Each structure stands twice: as C-alpha cells, then as structure tokens.
C-alpha cells in the first residue's frame, strides 16, 4: 500500500479534529483508495502543551518540515496572513502540495500563491476555507464547470449567523450571542473579523474569483458587518415578513459588470436562505444550465472543517500525486468584468429613523427622500412605550440607488427631529 506522509502546521481545534477524523476513517480511506495517510510532523508554538489527542512528530521548527523530503502534503492551519503566507510559499518551493483552511491568506494572496504553485507544478487545495464541511469549492470548480454563474448569494460566516439567530429567536444581545459562539469555537481569534463582515468578504473573494475567473482584491468588496444591528430592527424585520442575515453577494450586472458586497440584509421569510440558522452556512447560486441551486451545511466548527481538509488530502493523493495536469483552483484573471462601486448599486431598503415625536416628522423625512428620487412603498411610525415623546419612523423604499440613499440619509440625520442616526438595512427579495 502506498504511504503518504503529511505535515500539519498548527494543532488547535481544527488540527485536533483532523487527527481524530483521520483515526476514525483510516481503514475506510485505505480500503477506498489504497493509500495509507500518516501524519509525520506537526508544527506547534508550544511543544510542551497538553493535547486532547495523542500525536507524535511535534516540532516548533518549520525547517523540520521543509527539509523532510518524505513529506508530500502540508496542511496549513495557522490562520491569519503571516507567517502563514510565507510558510505556504516555502512549502510549495520545497516541493510539497499545500492544503489550507486560511481564507484570509487566499483572499489577499490567492493569485500569487497559485501562480507560484503552478510554476513549480504543485497544488494548493482549500475546500475548508469556505463553508467548512460543505463542498462548495469542488462543486464550483468541477461540478458546475459547464455553467455560466450569474449570482452567488451566501451566508458564509457561522459566528454571525449564530448570533443573528439567537438575537432573533431568544432576544439575547449581540455580545451574549458572540460569547456563546466563542464557547462553541466558531469565532475567529479576533472576533471583529467575524462581526465586521471581513471573514465573509474573504470567503466571497475566493468564491467570486473561482466563479467568474477574475482577480478580486479585498478592497473590491464593499464590507459591512452586523455590529449596527439592534433587536429593534430584528423585531421590525419580523413584522414586515423578513429575517436579517449577513449576506455575501456576487451578482452579474449585464454581461460585463459585477456587484460584490457583504452586508446585513432583510430577506423574505420564505427565501431559501431565511431557514439557515445558527452556525449553518448556505450558498445559493444561479447557473445558466442548472438554474437555482443551494448548498447547505455546517460552516464552522472543528469536525466539519476537518472533513473538508481530509477530503482535500485524499483528492491530492488520488489525483495530483499521480497526474500532472489539474484544473486551476485559482484562475488567473482571464475573465473581464468591472466590479462596480457600492454607490452604483441599486436596492430596496428598510430605513429606521429614531425621532423626537412632533407633528409633521414623517412629512419632513418623506420630502427629503422624494427629493433624492427615493420612492416609499410603506411607512409607519411608533412611539417608544416608556418614553412617549420618542419614537421611530420606519420606511420601506422601492429600488433606490445607494448614492441617493446615502445623500438623503446624511441630510435627514442633520434634522433636529432626529435623536440618533438612521438605520439602513438593504432588502434582498
């Protein structure tokens, strides 16, 4: 039986999950593939630390992996940009295939890494970087290759989806939701990366590069997180027949333009993405031949992530170690699309104006919206139960240009009737 030696860089929750999964599945993998997988080396920061699983080959020196000619595949589980990026490049240059779960490094340096890998005939696999256990990368790269994809709409971050689900179902605060998500191990070491939509944008970057064969820079994606979402807006969304989700959207506008954005959005309760709760992720897409399609499953957590990593290792063993030509994982910008600015995008909007109640407040707001070509299709006003002079005006708009919404809101925010800043949540139908 052929033996393949593997090195792990990092052995936190995901690494531990991978070791466990490999132990559980070893016999099955050997019977299915005729390949014996052996974890030969594990790079850790603290070699004295007690671990949940029995592991051998621990080292705190990357050279022990780079110089070991017996190691065919290295799995990068360090996360973040550096030293992960440098290690990935060195691993490739020392002749190893790389499997990585590192969405940040791929979003920033995916093309560079891929170019180097291609030049030296090595592979970089990253199924676990997006939607963890749900095989979206392989599906887009291979299963949907015959399609022209025109829309990707996804819930790609387990932590924020968990928080929004708990806020909406139990009325808990964003901070308490985050604490729970951290206890389950979904959140990034710096949870601002989840909360501010950055992790979602990294994943959208990877999916859009792959689906549209374009180079996407992190700054090309408008990114807004969930820190401004209040229970009041979740309640209002429910009343209007919507739920609030942090969405990643890549949408073709005509044939040559593309909208790339991450922001909280209200979606109808009957939308397929509305039923995606807690740490689950989903990717809804449209291909010209397959039509609508949705992938769904756990998008965070040690074992779902380990499942995708192990699948990459097995695919590398069965394909790349035996064949030389692979479909490029990170196409190098042969697609031509202009990524439009957020100001050019058009959307329906929910607007909430916290006001001091006076006669004519709705009129003042409606006039300014009208001056900016924003049509209203619903408006209500309500008072704060304990403070009768304070209230909220809630407005649902017809399709309006982002630049006009911004101008109108900044004008309204300056009105003396406002007791706080207006809340803007886009609606995706």
Residue 18 or 187: which CB sits closer to ligand HSE? 187
Q: Looking at beta carbons only, is 264 or 299 nearer to ligand HSE?
A: 299
Give the position of tokens 């590398």: 316
Q: Which helix (H) or strand (E) holds 20?
A: helix 13-33
Each residue 197-236 as x (binds ligand HSE by CB under 6 A) or -, in order, gives --x-------------------------------------
Q: Which of residues 247-276 bind ligand HSE (CB under 6 A)?
A: none
The least distance separating ligand HSE from the CB of residue 206, rounded to whole angstroms, comes to: 11
Cα 59 to Cα 337: distance, rounded to the nearest angstrom: 45
- Residue 45 to residues 59, 157, 187, Cα–Cα distance (Å): 8, 27, 21
Contacts to ligand HSE from residues 278-317, by CB under 6 A? 299-300
- 277 beta partners: none
Q: Catalytic pick from 203, 298, 337, 364?
A: 203
Q: How far apart are CA 304 and CA 302, in angstroms?
A: 6
127 or 357: whose CB is closer to ligand HSE?
127
CA-CA distance, 137 to 21, in Å (whole number)?
21
The answer to whether 203 is a known catalytic residue is: yes
Q: What are phi and psi of 308, to 5 degrees?
A: -70, -40
Beta strands in 44-104 (DSSP E): 58-59, 71-76, 97-100
Residue whose CB is less far from ligand HSE, 154 or 158: 158
Query: Are the beta carbons of 340 and 220 closer than 8 angstroms?
Result: no
- Cα gap 258→318, rounded to integer Å: 36
Query: Taking the complex as a whole, how short is the minimal distance between the CB of residue 326 and ligand HSE, in angstroms?
Result: 24
Contact pattern from residue 34 through residue 53 relative to ligand HSE, giving x for each residue in contact according to CB under 6 A and a dash for the rest:
--------------------
CA separation for the pair 353, 135 (Å, rounded): 42
Is residue 188 within the footprint of ligand HSE (CB under 6 A)? Answer: yes
Distance CA 71, CA 260 (A): 39
In the stretch 116-135, what mask flags binding to ligand HSE with x, by CB under 6 A? ----------------x---
User: Can you tell me which residue has the tokens 């407005």?
Assistant: 395
- Name which of 130 and 423 has its Cβ closer to ligand HSE: 130
Taking the least distance from each CB to ligand HSE, the nearer of 109 and 280 is: 280
Binding mask 71-110 for ligand HSE (x = CB under 6 A): ----------------------------------------
Sole window of 57-65, 184-192, 251-259, 394-402 interacting with ligand HSE (rule: CB under 6 A): 184-192
* Choice from 4, 6, 187, 355 touching ligand HSE (CB under 6 A): 187
Q: Count the Cβ atoms, other than its own, within 10 Å of residue 162.
A: 24
Strand partners, 354: 392
Rounded CA gap, 169 and 163, in Å?
Answer: 10
| Residues in touch with ligand HSE (CB under 6 A) | 132, 157-159, 186-188, 194, 199, 299-300
Active site residues: 203
């Amino acid at each position: 039986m052929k033996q393949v030696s593997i090195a792990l860089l990092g052995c936190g929750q995901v690494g531990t999950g991978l070791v466990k999964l490999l132990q559980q599945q070893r016999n099955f993998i050997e019977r299915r593939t005729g390949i014996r997988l052996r974890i030969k080396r594990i790079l850790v920061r603290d070699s004295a630390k007690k671990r949940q699983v029995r592991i051998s080959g621990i080292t705190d020196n990357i050279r022990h992996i780079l110089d070991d000619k017996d190691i065919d595949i290295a799995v990068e589980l360090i996360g973040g940009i550096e030293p992960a990026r440098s290690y990935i490049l060195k691993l490739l240059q020392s002749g190893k295939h790389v499997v990585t779960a590192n969405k940040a490094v791929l979003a920033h340096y995916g093309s560079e890494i891929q170019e180097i890998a291609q030049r030296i005939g090595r592979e970089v696999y990253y199924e676990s970087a997006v939607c963890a256990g749900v095989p979206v990368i392989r599906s887009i790269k291979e299963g949907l290759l015959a399609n022209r994809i025109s829309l990707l709409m996804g819930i790609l971050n387990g932590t924020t989806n968990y928080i929004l689900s708990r806020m909406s179902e139990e009325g808990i605060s964003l901070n308490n939701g985050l604490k729970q998500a951290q206890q389950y191990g979904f959140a990034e070491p710096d949870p601002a990366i989840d909360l501010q939509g950055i992790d979602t944008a990294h994943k959208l970057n990877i999916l859009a590069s792959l689906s549209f064969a374009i180079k996407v820079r992190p700054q090309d994606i408008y990114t807004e997180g969930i820190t401004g979402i209040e229970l009041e807006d979740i309640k209002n969304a429910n009343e209007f027949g919507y739920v609030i989700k942090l969405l990643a959207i890549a949408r073709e506008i005509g044939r040559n333009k593309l909208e790339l954005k991450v922001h909280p959005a209200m979606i109808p309760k009957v939308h397929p993405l509305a039923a995606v709760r807690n740490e689950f992720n989903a990717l809804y897409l449209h291909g010209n031949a397959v039509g609508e399609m949705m992938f769904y499953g756990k998008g965070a957590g040690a074992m779902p992530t380990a499942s995708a990593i192990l699948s990459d290792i097995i695919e590398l063993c069965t394909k790349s170690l035996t064949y030389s030509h692979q479909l490029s994982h990170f196409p190098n910008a042969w697609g031509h699309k202009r990524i439009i600015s957020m100001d050019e995008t058009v959307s329906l909007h929910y607007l909430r104006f916290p006001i001091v109640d006076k006669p004519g407040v709705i009129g003042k707001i409606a006039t300014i919206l009208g001056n900016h070509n924003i049509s209203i299709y619903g408006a209500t006003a309500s008072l704060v139960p304990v403070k009768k002079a304070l209230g909220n005006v809630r407005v649902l708009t017809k399709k309006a240009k982002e630049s006009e919404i911004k101008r109108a809101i900044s004008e309204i925010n300056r009105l003396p009737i406002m007791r706080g800043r207006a809340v803007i949540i886009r609606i995706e139908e």
